[in-house]
Amino acid sequence: MAMGIRLLKYWLNWQLLLGLALLSGGVNYLPLLIHALDLARRGTVREEAGLDTSPDAARRYTVLQLWLLVPFALVALALAQRGHR
């Protein structure tokens, strides 16, 4: 994310696009950090991290990881999830 902010200082086309891409990718990790801190505060990390080693679970988590590549996707999903609580 720091590299994305640094590249935003330059206003050349490719550098601006690269800076925005890196920044939006870094922003996707903020909801994950907030969720990890929330689990640590509640002390439920071990329960949440129950290992599911079935092939179906591996396939599911592989597909879910692709959401990290979509800019601001996890931010939008986290806000929507908090709205339903």
Contact 3, 22 (CB under 8 A): yes
pLDDT tens digits for range 33-73: 988 898 889 888 777 777 677 788 788 888 888 888 888 88
| pLDDT for the residue numbered 10 | 60
Question: pTM of this prediction?
Answer: 0.62
**What DSSP string runs through 58-77?**
HHHHHHHHGGGGSTTHHHHH
> How many Cβ atoms sit within 10 Å of the Cβ of residue 23?
18
